[in-house]
Structure formats: structure tokens, C-alpha cells
Chain A
Amino acid sequence: QKEVEQDPGPLSVPEGAIVSLNCTYSNSAFQYFMWYRQYSRKGPELLMYTYSSGNKEDGRFTAQVDKSSKYISLFIRDSQPSDSATYLCAMSAGGANSKLTFGKGITLSVRP
């Protein structure tokens, strides 16, 4: 079993829909949680960063972390065609030498 599992895709939604992207993890040491967006043939771009459990909102994006369930989510409200990309969750245990462990990624397509 991989340390980080991400819902399989691809996902296709109409413009304006609310999108929910999810990851689960097995390593209870993880306490830093990130979402990256990756357009085709580009490097990942940091979207959201969350420490420990709770919610964080940034514009149309909301990140949720439930450490008791080892489950994180990214919600996108009023989705736009420009949101079409691959979304990767990433996690770290923290500390100076702590690496990021990524999920497999899910490809989202927002239809006009």
C-alpha cells in the first residue's frame, strides 16, 4: 500500500460545478499537507498549504484536513475551464530534512 492514495480519475465536470478532490494517507507522522496544480508539460504549482487538521480557504479553493481519518480534500467552487489540470496532493512529516510524498494525481477537465 502506498503512503498516499489519491482518488483515481479522470474527472470531468461542467463549468460552475463544485469539485471535490480527495487523498488518504497511512503515515500518522504527516502533519503538513499541500495541493499542487500541474498543467500539461509544466512543473507543479503550489496551490494550498495546510498545517495539521482544519480548513483553509483561498478564493475559490478550500483545503480540508482530517487527521483523525487520515483524509484530506480540496474543494473548488465555481469551477472554470482554466482549472483544467492535474491536481496532486502532497504531504510531509515536517522537520528540516523532511521530503514531500505525493499522490498519483487526478486529471480534472472543466467543460465550458
Chain B
Amino acid sequence: EAEVAQSPRYKITEKSQAVAFWCDPISGHATLYWYRQILGQGPELLVQFQDESVVDDSQLPKDRFSAERLKGVDSTLKIQPAELGDSAMYLCASSLARTVRGAFFGQGTRLTVV
């Protein structure tokens, strides 16, 4: 069964260090999302790609976060420098273009900033 792949599963980093997360969406899915989920809360969108273009990054803290999807397939989310408040689950999801029959999520990367 096709899955969204994410790595790493867990990451512990020190405050002010750089950290990067990788996502490989389901093959053929043109839309890719990065969500952040704080413990006890629902996921909140950070950035949405349609192919290689960013279509919504209104909630992305652009002073420290960056995201790219260079060839319209896999994607990287980077945080530099990490802050204590960035500790959360970072979820990648993908969906077919021009449909909202739900998005399919990866297992997430749990980030702890110490």
C-alpha cells in the first residue's frame, strides 16, 4: 500500500541548531503539505505545495523556517535556528491535485528541542 515516507522519526536537537526533515509523498500526488502538531492540539498547516510551487505559506515562520520541493516530488522542511517552542510533531501529507478527498499523512517526525 502506498505511503507517505518521512524521516527521521525522532529528532533531538539543541536550541539554536539547524534541523531538517524529509518527506516523500505518495507517487503521483501533486499536493504536499507540512503540518505542525503540538501535543494535545490538531495539526496546523505550515506550508502547502502544488507540484514545486508554494501555494500557502501564510503560517510558516519565515525568519527561521524554510521549505522546498525542488522537482515537485520529495520535500525538505528546515528550521534554523531551532527554538524550545519548536518542539512538536512535524507531519507531512499528500493528496491528488484538484481533490480534497482527504490527505494522507506520514508517521511524522517528533522534534524535541533542548
Q: Which chain A residues have a beta carbon within 8 Å of chain B's beta carbons? A: 4, 6, 32, 34, 36, 41-46, 49, 88, 90, 92, 94-105
Contacts and interface: CB of A to CB of B under 8 A. Distances in A.
Given A44-B91, A49-B101, A100-B33, A88 B108 contact: no
A104 B39 CA distance: 10
Given A42-B107, A43-B106, A43-B108, A97 B56 contact: yes
B102 A99 contact: no
B42 A102 contact: yes
Q: Which 4 A-B pairs have the closest CB atoms?
A: A102-B42, A43-B105, A97-B55, A32-B100
Interface of B: 4, 6, 31, 33, 40-45, 48, 50, 55-56, 91, 93, 97-98, 100-108, 110
Contacts of A36: 102, 105
A46 B93 CA distance: 11
Contacts of A4: 42
Nearest to A44: B105
A45 B104 CA distance: 7
B42 A99 contact: no
Nearest to B92: A43
Contacts of B40: 104-105
